[in-house]
Structure 1
Amino acid sequence: MASALSGASSTLDSSSDSSWNPEGISFPKSFAWGASTAAYQVEGGWDADGKGPSVWDTFTHQGGDRVFKNQTGDVACGSYALWEEDLKCIKQLGLTHYRFSLSWSRLLPDGKTGFINQKGVEYYDKMIDSLLANDVTPVVTLYHFDLPQRLEDQGGWRSGATVEAFDSYAQFCFRTFGDRVKLWITINEPYVMAELGYAEGTMAPGIKELGTGAYLAAHNMIKAHAAAWHTYDRLFRKTQGGLVSIALNSDWAEPFDPNSVADQEAAKRHVAFCLDWFATPIFLNGDYPAIMKSQISAVCKRQGSPSSRLPEFTQEEKMMIKGTADFFSLNYYTSRKIKHRDNTHSPPSMSADKEAEQVTDPSWPVATGSSWLAVVPWGLRRLLEYIKDTYNHPIIYITENGFSQSDPAALDDTQRWEYFRLTLLEILKAIYVDGVQLKGYFVWSLLDNFEWTCGYRSRFGLFHVDFENPALPRVPYKSAIEYAKVIANNGLMKSHG
């Protein structure tokens, strides 16, 4: 695998750095070294101490083989009861930062601030205080897929009422934890939540509205993010001095045929319909990408629809959304080759609107635990340069990057470490050759955990968790030991031989 990975890396056709080897080069001073988790995926304690149900509790409890072996996050890594064990893992790695999410329904069981669950507040207070006591900076995500079920019952992200509920929840969190938390992420991967949760229905809450659901859910998530950013800016920034952003996920896209204009345009659409869908309104102009608006409008016209299925922001909303991020939070895993696909006769869906087919290059190695995760470290560098050039050279944090093993997973995870090693080399090139303002890197994930519809078969952790053992012991993989060395050295040591 190592030689195959090296071959994948060498396909980067950059003449500017062909003779430059970043091994042995230090990362910038004060570079943030982190790992990430999400509440539903690690906490367990799904109904402990007054926690209300989330859409993922409901989705997994309904069964129907939507999740691998009908597994649930009811227990997961048991982090609600075993936080001290997680903290030991964090200290063993020497992390400078730890990203985790708050369970909205653990703090506010019905999603509203009328009733506050004090036990939930105490749990997150304990986490934050113990991180700070160990010189680890908490990076807190307000919402990572687990909407309170009560809010979903009232329309969820298809309803404008959830925008208001999220803003109230955000204000509660800023007020409760913001004296100690200085890096906030409002919403994790709105693309995934919109498309898989409200269009294809393969993730909670399982809504299948192919032509409209994703666009409507995304529309409200963008407004919710912007409202929360303004709340922080208006009420808390002066006294707390923190920063607020939104975590956007994106693949990199290369045209399948580099000489085909149609494939070149399809690759641009692929990025527009994933990253730019959210980044353009938030970082640039308060509105959706022009390429996305014209494409959806043209498809709708062909289908005989009098108007576009993409909602419109009012002028007032555009002004409210524009500029509502203090840094760029990027989750990157893989890349794709993209070819144009004519979908003239396809039923309405976001996938059909895009008219872009994803292809995995057969020369790219694939993670054993996720068939979609092709190993393309150089794609991250190209994506970082795209963000730099498109979004006014922002400060960037890579808030998720990972490689999965299938269960049972070997502790000697050489393939995964090679993925991380090559990725870090590309990051160094992005910083020192391309001039990207990259300030931190977070591995997904600290622990093997409940990987959504893949359940526990897809293992992304730096630490192995034995889910068959009631004690849920954490044991470091080789990649954890190697990652700790990188953190300690603030760089990759030169390889020998």
Structure 2
Amino acid sequence: MTETPFPTSFLWGSATAAFQIEGAHDQDGRTPSIWDTFARVPGAVLDGDTGDVACDHYHRVEEDVDLMASLNLDAYRFSTSWARVRPDGGEPNQRGVDFYARLVDTLLDRGITPWVTLYHWDLPQVLEDAGGWTNRDTAHRFADYALTLHDALGDRVPYWTTLNEPWCSAFLGYTGGQHAPGRQEGVAGLVAAHHLMLGHGLVVDELRRRGVDGREGGQVGITLNLTVPEPFDPTEPADVSASHRVEHLFNRVFLDPILRGSYAEEIHELTEGLCWRGHPWQSAIRDGDLALIGAPIDVLGVNYYHGDAASGRPHRDADLLGSRIRHPSRETTSPYPGGEAITFPRRGLPVTGLDWEVQPEGLTDLLVALNDDYDLPAVYVTENGAAYPDVVADDGTVDDPERLAFVAGHLRAVHAAIEKGVDVRGYFVWSLLDNFEWAYGYDQRFGIVHVDYETQQRTPKSSALWYSRVAAEGIL
């Protein structure tokens, strides 16, 4: 295949999340997050797995950063634990702050750029007990937490992401119940989504005041998981309608407020009459909110794993019962408030271990459509990867040709988007390590590095060795 060179400044990285890898769930002052609590609910996580130990990264920072350096990573995108930095949502915990300071210093010593994500779903349980993201005050507590980390790391961290995939936090957490805190309260997801974005806006505003200016002072942005929805059957009006609902209540419910400072009129039409605790959900939107939320950002992170074939009809065909929004072992509801929209793998496409179809051209389509529809800041693909049932050979090696092909195909899709004028400046493969995969526990492996959870031994898979070469040469 013809060699594909990327721009010399293109950033090659990998990504993780605190709850998924750190472990040390009750050490050095850390208190429970909503995921500690949710993982202990019967049926919430496959096999009753918890994140108590995970990859034990908390005790293995030096080893793991050395591993990153050996893989020629330019950058490492990691999240910080709110429950570690401000336990119970209260005062700063110096031991928790010191952990991240040590991680950042170790990365810099190895020539790896640290990229901080402030929130990857692990709200302190005490704040959830007070209403969580349906409580407006949580957005202000989020800003307090963010500034604690900026106080400690602002002189050394050039990239700050406020939220990772707020759609999951809001709609899987508060509407459908597939994720922590497991609430199935319909319209609550819309209220939570608005407060999440308000928290984002408050942090952007504060960091700007502190000199995060998009240049030498650092850059700030947000990461959204986005999809390419299509009707499962374009001739069925219910499927066309469901595709429209997914586009707006998955993509545009966040894109428009953040990039345009307003909710699309279609959002109000789709949610007309929906109330939260006796009031229209829009009562959560106060004067000045959208100005904060829509303030310019420096970076838009795009997470992409698959497109969506949407349907608004009940299906009896067993081949269609692979909805990607279902919970693996617990009864849940649709995460789309106000009406059903079910997403299925497309027939005829290969799928990953999670029944997510492999559709790299969808990433090109998504990036080009974003570029056509919005005035974008710099774009980074901040997550992309696949779960497959890896096998450890007798000699200890792990050959994962399907994952390698998945990443290669999506990198070609990124390159195609660049050639079409999209300002994509980097790519982060998900994930560096096999880890605690949320509701799937340890059943699904996304890592380019295999983790033996009994011994915590790390073994780079063939995809990692290949990605290391690509990152070093900048050529696919």
TM-score (norm 1): 0.86
The counterpart of 1:95, out of the listed 52, 62, 73, is 73
Please report how far the alpha carbon of residue 89 of structure 1 lies from its aligned counterpart in structure 2 after TM superposition: 1.8
Please report how far the alpha carbon of residue 263 of structure 1 lies from its aligned counterpart in structure 2 after TM superposition: 4.7
Please give the per-residue CA displacement for 1:244-279, whole angstroms capped at 9, x wherever unaligned: 111100221123345667655543331211121111
Matched with 2:31 is: 52
Matched with 2:285 is: 313
Q: Is the 1:243–1:326 contact (alpha carbons within 8 Å) kept by the matching residues of 2?
A: yes
Distance in structure 2 (CA, Å) of the matches to 1:486 and 1:306: 55
Please report how far the alpha carbon of residue 65 of structure 1 lies from its aligned counterpart in structure 2 after TM superposition: 2.1
The counterpart of 1:367, out of the listed 332, 343, 352, is 352
Whether 1:270 aligns to 2:270 is: no
Q: Is the 2:161–2:222 contact (alpha carbons within 8 Å) kept by the matching residues of 1?
A: yes
The DSSP-based 3-state class of the residue aligned with 1:397 is strand
Matched with 2:172 is: 196
Distance in structure 2 (CA, Å) of the matches to 1:216 and 1:108: 24
Matched with 1:484 is: 468
Matched with 2:3 is: 24
Distance in structure 1 (CA, Å) of the matches to 2:475 and 2:272: 48
The DSSP-based 3-state class of the residue aligned with 2:338 is helix
Matched with 1:423 is: 410
Please report how far the alpha carbon of residue 218 of structure 1 lies from its aligned counterpart in structure 2 after TM superposition: 0.8
Matched with 2:387 is: 404
Distance in structure 2 (CA, Å) of the matches to 1:408 and 1:485: 23
Matched with 1:75 is: 53
Matches within 5 A, 1:298-309: 300=274, 308-309=280-281
Consecutive unaligned residues of structure 1, counting only runs of 5 or more, are 1-20, 343-347, 493-497
Q: Is the 1:52–1:148 contact (alpha carbons within 8 Å) kept by the matching residues of 2?
A: yes
Q: Is the 1:174–1:236 contact (alpha carbons within 8 Å) kept by the matching residues of 2?
A: no
The DSSP-based 3-state class of the residue aligned with 1:362 is coil
Matched with 1:168 is: 144
Matched with 1:247 is: 223
Whether 1:322 aligns to 2:322 is: no
Residue type at the aligned position of 2:263: Y
Please give the per-residue CA displacement for 1:285-317, whole angstroms capped at 9, x wherever unaligned: x2222212111117x59xxx9975455523422
Matched with 2:272 is: 297
Please report how far the alpha carbon of residue 338 of structure 1 lies from its aligned counterpart in structure 2 after TM superposition: 2.6
Matches within 5 A, 1:90-489: 90-112=68-90, 114=91, 116-209=92-185, 211-237=186-212, 241-258=217-234, 263-264=239-240, 266-284=242-260, 286-297=261-272, 300=274, 308-311=280-283, 313-341=285-313, 350-351=335-336, 353=338, 355-368=340-353, 370-371=354-355, 373-406=356-389, 411-432=398-419, 434-469=420-455, 472-489=456-473
Please give the per-residue CA displacement for 1:77-127, whole angstroms capped at 9, x wherever unaligned: 000001112112211210001000111111111212x3x222212211111
The DSSP-based 3-state class of the residue aligned with 1:423 is helix
- Indicate how the Cα distance of structure 1 residues 139 and 306 shifts in structure 2: closer, same or farther if over 3 A, else same: closer
Distance in structure 1 (CA, Å) of the matches to 2:139 and 2:427: 30
Residue type at the aligned position of 2:463: S
- Amino-acid identity (%): 40
Q: Is the 1:183–1:242 contact (alpha carbons within 8 Å) kept by the matching residues of 2?
A: yes
The DSSP-based 3-state class of the residue aligned with 2:77 is strand
The DSSP-based 3-state class of the residue aligned with 2:372 is helix
The DSSP-based 3-state class of the residue aligned with 2:288 is helix
Q: Is the 1:451–1:458 contact (alpha carbons within 8 Å) kept by the matching residues of 2?
A: yes
Distance in structure 2 (CA, Å) of the matches to 1:161 and 1:379: 38
Residue type at the aligned position of 1:147: L
Please report how far the alpha carbon of residue 354 of structure 1 lies from its aligned counterpart in structure 2 after TM superposition: 5.0
Please give the per-residue CA displacement for 1:308-362, whole angstroms capped at 9, x wherever unaligned: 54555234222222134222111110012234559xxxxx965363554423212
Distance in structure 1 (CA, Å) of the matches to 2:437 and 2:219: 28
- Indicate how the Cα distance of structure 1 residues 240 and 46 shifts in structure 2: closer, same or farther if over 3 A, else same: farther
Residue type at the aligned position of 1:322: G
Distance in structure 2 (CA, Å) of the matches to 1:52 and 1:306: 34
Q: Is the 1:273–1:354 contact (alpha carbons within 8 Å) kept by the matching residues of 2?
A: no
Consecutive unaligned residues of structure 2, counting only runs of 5 or more, are 315-332
TM-score (norm 2): 0.90
Distance in structure 2 (CA, Å) of the matches to 1:99 and 1:173: 15
Q: Is the 1:72–1:455 contact (alpha carbons within 8 Å) kept by the matching residues of 2?
A: yes
